[in-house]
Amino acid sequence: MVRKTGYTRIIEGGFWLIRLRWLAVIGILIATTFADRILKISIQQIPLYFIAIVLLLLNLGSFYALKYTTKNKISIKILKGENIVKFQILTDLIILTCLLHYSGGVENPFIIYYIFHMIIASILLSPKTSYIIATIALTLIGALTLLEYYEILPHYTLQGFNDQNFYQNKIFLLGTGFIYITTSYLVVYMTVSVSTKLKQHEMAYTRASIELEKKDKIKNEYVLRITHDIKNHLAAIQNSLDVVLISKSETDRQEFVERAHKRIRRLTSFVNELLKLTRIRLVNKLDACEFSIDDSINKVIQEINPMAMHKGIKININSKSFITKIYGNQVSIEEALSNLISNAVKYSPDNSAIYINAIKIKDSVLVEIIDNGIGIPMHEQKLIFNEFYRASNVANIEKDSSGFGLSLVKQIIDKHNGTISVESKLNKGTTFKITLPILHTR
Ligand code: ADP
């Protein structure tokens, strides 16, 4: 998808002006010849042809300047796309004034063409510049009118088209002057309003599509990571089973069946974790009810105790919550507690102790899970809630891990409008703190 930046918009606008000017050159040549030969209007042919040539040369200059700017992505102020467009518009206004001077001045109906430049400026340039350009255009018309009125400049009447010498008629000049001024500023005001709104919409659209692209990239990386992990497990299972098929040794076969079995267990737990995380992400609102947080802590500890006892770890509970019930989704809160407490066991040395505190603070309950384990390096503490993230000091400790646990815990706590934080010292221990509102807050 090609997105238009302010830079490309102005460059495209510059090239569009150049195309219009080629037409203008042809227009001047045809109109002058037509007025003279067919309509038999007396007209200053030589100066008009000369102006057409000047316009042609200026346009060639602008064309090459813009091409040079685009090719070299110029950032030199004078050659910036915007400055080239300003230069084009200003030279056009001067040329149009010269053309009008040699073809009837204020009596020439082509005077209305100034409006085009005001519209073009309002579309391509800033509102302030657009009003300045409108003022310059009106000043040029005003100056030409006054100079011809006071006969400082000669007036070339379009004989055969308008012989009334309106350029000397005060009432005509004041009336048309008033109409030109009000029309010009109104046109600029309207065009600036519309184009500002369009630019804002375009910017909002661009921002949204950049955001979408980013999200799409993250999603693709996520899918890639998951498929990669699943593929690794499958390849290991396949290899073990290949050995089982060709090996003649019973011990080897036994060993590789065990390996395959272990890998299948890891793969299943990986997929289960992934499913849980995806499910919790997809639901907007969890089913909630009142339940006792103390009971949930006890229940989770009972489940984890065999694993803790295996390492000689003692789990101590200190509940000062004095609340029997909190409002939330019991299953997912227990899932979160289970992840935090089993991590504490997993990352603690044998024969150590884990402490779990539950304290009521105002309208929330604070649960602390404190261990004396390996800790988390300071600079990695903010990363551990990211999916797949495993701190650098656990690489050799626990291989049966997915790195999904804490992101699942965070999702669950977020969905309950709670908070989660971590304090940890390397080789000293870690404390996870979660707060959960007691009342239903949604
Ligand atoms: P894992 O499956 O690797 O345990 P988690 O998402 O549960 O994944 O945890 C992410 C990482 O956070 C772990 O790999 C570990 O580095 C770190 N971590 C989590 N809990 C603890 C803890 N109690 N002590 C030390 N490190 C921990």
Residue by residue, DSSP assigns 212-227 as HHHHHHHHHHHHHHHH
pLDDT tens sequence across 318-358 = 876 566 688 999 989 999 999 999 999 999 999 999 999 99
The residue among 259, 260, 350, 282 whose CA lies nearest residue 312 is 350
Distance from the CA of 404 to the center of ligand 1, in angstroms? Answer: 9
Beta strand pairing call for 314-320 and 326-328: unpaired
Distance from the CA of 396 to the center of ligand 1, in angstroms? Answer: 13
Higher pLDDT, 81 or 312: 312
From the CB of 401, is ligand 1 less than 6 Å away? yes
pLDDT tens sequence across 262-300 = 999 989 988 998 898 888 888 877 888 999 999 999 999
Instruction: State how far the Cα of 199 lies from the Cα of 197, in Å rounded to an integer.
Output: 5
Which atom of ligand 1 is nearest to 393's Cα? 16
317 strand-pairing partners: 356
pLDDT at 442 over 50: no
Q: Which of 49-58, 74-83, 98-107, 359-368 has the lowest mean pLDDT?
A: 74-83
Percent of the chain with pLDDT over 90: 57
pTM higher than 0.75 for the full model?
no
pLDDT band at 7 (very low <50, low <70, confident <90, very high): low
Percent of the chain with pLDDT over 70: 93
- Residue 42's pLDDT is 77
Query: In Å, how far from its chain's centre is CA 34?
Result: 54
pLDDT at 1 over 80: no
Instruction: State how far the Cα of 171 lies from the Cα of 168, in Å rounded to an integer.
Output: 9
- Residue 174's pLDDT is 94
User: Which tokens belong to 378?
Assistant: 């300071």
Which atom of ligand 1 is nearest to 392's Cα? 16
pLDDT band at 85 (very low <50, low <70, confident <90, very high): confident
Ligand 1 atom 20 nearest Cα: 343
pLDDT at 373 over 70: yes
pLDDT at 434 over 90: yes
pLDDT band at 9 (very low <50, low <70, confident <90, very high): confident
Distance from the CA of 384 to the center of ligand 1, in angstroms? Answer: 7
Q: 195 by DSSP, 3-state: which?
A: helix
pLDDT at 439 over 90: no
Distance from the CA of 190 to the center of ligand 1, in angstroms? Answer: 60
- Residue 74's pLDDT is 58
User: Which tokens belong to 400?
Assistant: 């049966």
pLDDT at 441 over 50: no
Q: Do 320 and 357 meet the contact criterion of CB atoms below 8 Å apart? A: yes
| Mean model confidence pLDDT for the chain | 88
Distance from the CA of 235 to the center of ligand 1, in angstroms? Answer: 26
Q: 282 by DSSP, 3-state: which?
A: helix
User: Which of 315, 342, 368, 406 best tests ligand 1's pocket when mutated (most atoms within 8 Å of CB)?
Assistant: 406
Q: How many CB atoms lie within 10 A of CB 205?
A: 11
Ligand 1 atom 16 nearest Cα: 391
Q: Do 102 and 47 meet the contact criterion of CB atoms below 8 Å apart? A: yes
Q: 232 by DSSP, 3-state: which?
A: helix
Instruction: State how far the Cα of 234 lies from the Cα of 13, in Å rounded to an integer.
Output: 57
The residue among 276, 97, 24, 424 whose CA lies nearest residue 268 is 276
pLDDT at 363 over 60: yes
What one-letter code names the amino acid at 96?
L
User: Which tokens belong to 67?
Assistant: 């091409």
368 strand-pairing partners: 357, 433
pLDDT at 403 over 50: yes
Burial class (CB in 10 A: 0-12, 13-18, 19+), 315: buried
From the CB of 266, is ligand 1 less than 6 Å away? no
What is the pLDDT averaged over residues 210-236?
90
Which atom of ligand 1 is nearest to 407's Cα? 6
Residues 6+ apart with CB under 8 A from 399: none
The residue among 371, 357, 382 whose CA lies nearest residue 434 is 357
Angle, vertex CA 400, rays to CA 397 and CA 403, nearest 5:
90
Ligand 1 atom 13 nearest Cα: 390
Instruction: State how far the Cα of 355 lies from the Cα of 360, in Å rounded to an integer.
Output: 17
**Most confident of the ranges 80-89, 234-243, 391-400:** 234-243
pLDDT at 2 over 90: no
Which atom of ligand 1 is nearest to 273's Cα? 2
From the CB of 390, is ligand 1 less than 6 Å away? yes
